[in-house]
Each structure stands twice: as C-alpha cells, then as structure tokens.
A and B are shown apart, each in its own frame.
Chain A
Amino acid sequence: MLFAKLSASATTPALLLMAAIFAASAWVMPAWLAFLLTLAFSKALVVLGVVIQMRAGLVSFGQALFYCVGGYGVGLASQYLGVSDAFALLALGTLAAIVLALICGWLLTRYRDIFYAMLTLALSMILYGILVKSSALGSTDGFNVSPPSFLGWVPEGDAIKRTLYLLTVGVSAIVALGFHSFMVSGLGRVTEAVRENEIRVEYLGLSPQRMLFANYVLAAGLSALGGGLTAMASGHIDPDMAFWTTSGEFVFIAILGGTGHVAAPFIGAIVFSVIRTFAIQEAPNTWQMTLGVILLALVLFLPKGLWSLVERSKKREASA
C-alpha cells in the first residue's frame, strides 16, 4: 500500500533523479562548490529536524543541541575510540543523540509554544557551557576530525572531499525518501493534526504527547546525522555548534524553504549558503542586516517559504 502511494506520487522519481544529478556532477563541479553543497546538505538534514517539529506546531530554538552531539560524537569516536569508518562514526553520533533525546524528550514534550522554544534553547546552551568549560575537550578551540575511511577504503587527495560529498548526497537522498514516506504515513498525518488542534486528537483516542515525543527523537537523529557529516566534511568541531545563534540559522532556513515538502529544506539550505557567502563578500559590514531583511520579507510575504512558489503553480496545474 505504501509502495503504491510512493510510486504514484511524482516525488520519489524526482528525488532520485535529483540525487543522481548531484552525484554525477561531483566529477565536473569545482571543488569549492562541492564543499558548499556538502555543508548545505548536512545543514539541510538538521533543518529537516526543525521542520519535523514545526509540522507538529512546535518551533525548536535549540536544534543545535543534537547537531553538536552528532558532531562531537563523530569527533570523539574518531579521536579517542580510534573508529575511522565513516558509517560507524555517523551511527555512533546518531545513537548518542537519540539516547539524549529519549531522556530529554520525555520532559520537553510536556511544553508547548514559547516554553518549548525556550527550553530547547536552554538545553543547547547548557551543552555549550559544558563544552566551553571543558579544557580537556579543547574548550572553544574544539578539535580536528581526521578524514574517515569508507568500509576499509581510504581515499586520497581530491577523492577525500569528493567521497564525503557523495556520502552526504547519498545520506540526504535516503533521508529524503524516508521522510517523504513518513509524511504520508499515519504518524506523519496525525502530527499535522496535533498542530491544528491537540485536544481533538486526544478525543480521537491518540496521545499527542507520544506523537510529539516520537517526532522529537526522530528530529534529534536527523540533526545528529547532519552534525556528523559536517564534522567529517569541515574536519573540525567546536562548541559554537551548540550556540543558540546556530539554532537560529536552522530556523531561518526552515522558514526560507518552507515545511510543505521534503525537498524544501534542501533548497532552502542551498539558497541560504549562496546568499550568505554573497552577502559576506559584497557587504562585509552589513551581512547580518541583509539576512534580517530577507527573513522579514519572507515572513511577511512568503510565510510558507520558497516551496509555496512551487505549490501555487502545482495547484494551478491541477485546477487547469
């Protein structure tokens, strides 16, 4: 039933096609562009975590917590446990984040709205404080992550960054497909219902708190994946990964892309990276203001993000 639904929609083949195009262009695109896209896609995974919670009606201002846990998980495992395989590193980082989410989510999902946002922010700032205080972990300097191996194969030279790029594209594709099927599944649909009216969902016999908890843990895992991939690509982790302005960036991209479709965070992340690099280059003293103006314009005129541009044309097609 699920497969029938998946193949019926145009999304799955489109996603696979896009993934293939991005992967194939790894050999032709300039190295700096591949690096930009690697970081953008990893960020998009974290943003997907924010989007998952937004669809449930909760805005997380502390998603950087799991982003940081994923990154530090990869870094610490690589440095102190001697793990060098990329997949093992990602798995360890994600596992650490999921365990943390299981503990925190139980408390956090009892709150809504502003309190949820503030508590998630507080948690991420607590982690920031712990990391900054710890000179054993390098405090604000953080430490470097050596390039990983891939199931025994160690790439050399250019191939290092290219393989990481391909890994990121691959993980993003799998996550995107998975999230798409999640969105159309039972849990996904009920989550949106929770956003609309929680009490009625209770009356239907379901537990909104359990739904939100599941969403929270799922979001945490995805964010940790993003953090781990970033750590491996940039080769460096530091406590800034947990700072609240990092979370603010993720929320910005979530709004930029919109919550309507799984591709939206990816498009948002790419556009954001391009805008930011461009803004820093052209207006080095006012790039924050540029971002603020863009965010304001989006919120006022395009509240459902860039994806709403696509949806409007889709609706027009359908009605035509």
Chain B
Amino acid sequence: MTTLIAILIDGAIYASWLFLVAAGMTIIYGVMRVLNMAHGSFYAIGAYSAASLVSWYFSSDQGNPYWSLLILPACAIVAGAIIGLFIEQGLLRFLHGRDEILMVIVTYALMLILEDATKLIWGVNPYFAYQPYKLLGQTGFGEHLRFANYDLMLIGIAIVIGLVAWAALNRTNKGRLLRAVIHDREIAIAMGVNVNAMFAATFVIGAILGALAGALTAPAISVSPGIGVEVIVLAFAVIVIGGLGSIGGAAAGALLVGLARSFAVHIAPEIELFVIYGVMFLVLAIRPQGLFGQTLARRI
C-alpha cells in the first residue's frame, strides 16, 4: 500500500518537474516553430543564478529565510528575460521562417556556446542552495515514507503555471492572437498582427519558464556543469509525446512519463532506462503527431 502511494506521489512530483522543464520548450515550438535545443542551457542558467543568489542571501544572513523562496522565481524571471531577449533579438530575429531543421542546428550551436559560457561565468565547482529545500519540512505516509514539502509544493506550482498558461491562451485577447499565430502565421501577418513582437514575447516567456524550472530545482541538487544537457532529451521526449506546441500536451506527456518512470523504479527497475522512450514510441505509433498535436495538412 505504501508502495502505491509512493508510486503516485513520486510520479506526480517527477511529472511536475518534467512539465516545468518542457512547458517553455513547447510554447516556443508552437508559436515560432523553433525546437530550442538550448533550452537546457536556460534551465542551467536559472539554476546557477538561483543557487548563487540564495547562497549569498544565507551567507550574509539577510533576514527571514522564507524570502529565499521568493528569490528563486525572481532570479528565474530576471535571468530568463535577459538571456531570452538577448538571443531572440540578437540572433533568432533574423532567422524567422527558416527551415525547422536549420533552427534545430542553430539552437544546438547556441547550446554549445552557452554550456561553455556558464562554465566561464560560474566555474566548474558545484553550487549549493539547499536551505530553501529543508525550510518547509516533511510530510509522512506510513511508517517510513516521508516527502519533502518543497517537492509537494512543486506539484502545486506546476498546476498553477499550467492553469495560468491555459487561461492566458484561451481567455485573454493577446492569447487569442497568439493562438491565431500558432494556427496560421501567414494569415495572422496578413491580418495585421505584430508577429515579430509576439515571437519576442514568446521566446522570453519560454526562456523564463526554462530558467524557472532550473531555479526551483536548484535547492534540491548540486548545481554543476552538465545539468542542462541532461534535461534536453527528457524535455524533447515529453513534448513529442504530448504533441508539439500544446501546453495541455506537455502536461499529459509529463504525467504519463512521470507515472511510468515512477512505476518502473519501484516495481520493474530493469525497464527504467527505456521507459521514457518506450512511451514515446508507443504514443507515436498510435498517434503520430503526439497526444494533443495538431494534424497538419500536407501542402502541395
């Protein structure tokens, strides 16, 4: 029984993490048709900035430790906005409308550059910002199983972000314009929508979300070189399963993968390494565009 609870909660926590990581990437793809391989670098930059700022905060004993919980998203927003704007305005702006595969390669090059850039700025030694992780205490299930409330909070944050994104897309005017751009860019331009501004805003939001995922994860891990590269493949798999460009898809994909992996770790450890790819293959075999992906008409 405890195992079942463990599977469900572990699955939910992992799914929330996956969703936070993948949400930004899927938004960027949906609007701009750019599969951003540098998304892992946004994650890493978010994590490093958050870790640096939080450890500074605690080392200089500024005050109430609960403020550190606010520092995390604040860091992410600032770091994500800066790097997102820089890349979008400095490079991607000139490449709108180019072939999708070309953009994958461009973002791959960006990833290589940003990897070394983070190493130059922050060095190779690990950073820690563990204080916020322990701040919120534990919750127990059964005799031995305990979860950090910080992780449970992540589930809440993921749900909130998902709802906010859905509301923004479906209930605001700007959101409707964005959906129009997603559906058909050419007609949107013809209708006078300022697509360039939308692209810039979308990329910045995507970068912020990526950085946020990193910042929120930083208190639980040791932030060291290479954490960005690890998340890219996971994020890809999740958004491909869910359907490229769909937030709901990212959530569904994250949930599916999260539960599957949790199940594997507890019950069937041999398949744990393949579970994410297995789910991807299964979903794509049944529904080639992903769970919530748009079926695109073939253009002749």
Interface residues, chain A, CB within 8 Å of chain B? 59, 107, 110-111, 113-115, 117-119, 121-123, 125-126, 129-130, 132-133, 197-200, 244-245, 248, 251, 255, 285-289, 291-293, 295-296, 299, 303
Contact = CB atoms under 8 A, between A and B. Distances in A.
Given A59-B104, A303-B102, A121 B117 contact: no
A289 B233 contact: no
A193 to B, nearest CB: 14
Nearest to B123: A285
Interface in B226-281: 229, 233, 236-237, 240, 244, 270, 273-274, 277, 280-281
A291 B111 CA distance: 11
Given A59-B104, A130-B274, 17 more contacts: A59-B101, A113-B101, A114-B104, A119-B284, A126-B274, A130-B273, A133-B270, A133-B273, A198-B298, A200-B300, A251-B105, A285-B119, A289-B115, A292-B112, A292-B116, A296-B109, A299-B109
B108 interface: yes
B116 A288 contact: yes
Interface in B115-162: 115-117, 119-120
24 contacts: A107-B285, A111-B284, A113-B101, A114-B104, A118-B280, A121-B236, A125-B233, A130-B274, A132-B273, A198-B298, A245-B229, A286-B116, A286-B120, A287-B116, A288-B112, A289-B116, A292-B109, A292-B110, A293-B113, A295-B112, A296-B91, A296-B110, A296-B113, A299-B106
Contact of B117 (A126, A130, A197, A289): A289
Interface of B: 35, 91, 100-102, 104-106, 108-113, 115-117, 119-120, 229, 233, 236-237, 240, 244, 270, 273-274, 277, 280-281, 284-285, 288, 298, 300
Nearest to B269: A133
A129 to B, nearest CB: 4
Which interface residue of A122, A123, A197, A255 has the most chain B CB atoms within 10 A? Answer: A122
A197 B106 CA distance: 24
A288 B117 CA distance: 10
Nearest to A122: B277
B288 A110 contact: yes
A107 B236 CA distance: 19
B3 to A, nearest CB: 23
The 6 tightest CB contacts between A and B, nearest first, are A292-B112, A289-B116, A129-B273, A292-B113, A295-B109, A296-B109
B236 A295 contact: no
Contacts of A248: 108
A129 B284 CA distance: 20
A122 B285 CA distance: 14
B120 A285 contact: yes
Given A59-B104, A107-B285, A299-B102, A114 B244 contact: yes
Contacts of B300: 197, 199-200
Contacts of A119: 280-281, 284
A126 B274 CA distance: 6
Contact of B113 (A132, A285, A289): A289
A59 B236 CA distance: 16
A295 B111 CA distance: 11
A126 B115 CA distance: 25
Contacts of A292: 109-113, 115-116
Contacts of B112: 288-289, 291-292, 295
Contacts of B106: 296, 299
A288 B285 CA distance: 36
A213 B104 CA distance: 23
Contacts of B281: 119, 122
A114 B108 contact: no
Nearest to A123: B277
Contacts of B236: 118, 121
B104 to A, nearest CB: 7
Which interface residue of B102, B104, B109, B288 has the most chain A CB atoms within 10 A? Answer: B109
Given A255-B105, A292-B111, A296-B110, A114 B35 contact: yes
A117 B106 CA distance: 15
A115 B288 contact: yes
B233 A114 contact: no
A228 B102 CA distance: 30
Which interface residue of A117, A289, A303 has the most chain B CB atoms within 10 A? Answer: A289
Which interface residue of B91, B116, B229, B237 has the most chain A CB atoms within 10 A? Answer: B116
B287 to A, nearest CB: 11
B119 A111 contact: no
B33 to A, nearest CB: 9
Contacts of B270: 133
A289 B225 CA distance: 14
A115 B109 contact: no
A110 B285 CA distance: 10
Contacts of A303: 102
Contacts of B284: 111, 115, 119
B273 A113 contact: no
A197 B298 CA distance: 10
B120 A199 contact: no
Nearest to B105: A299
Contacts of A244: 233
A65 B111 CA distance: 22
Contacts of B101: 59, 113-114, 117
Nearest to B236: A118
A214 B74 CA distance: 53
Contacts of B100: 113-114
B288 A285 contact: no
Nearest to B117: A289
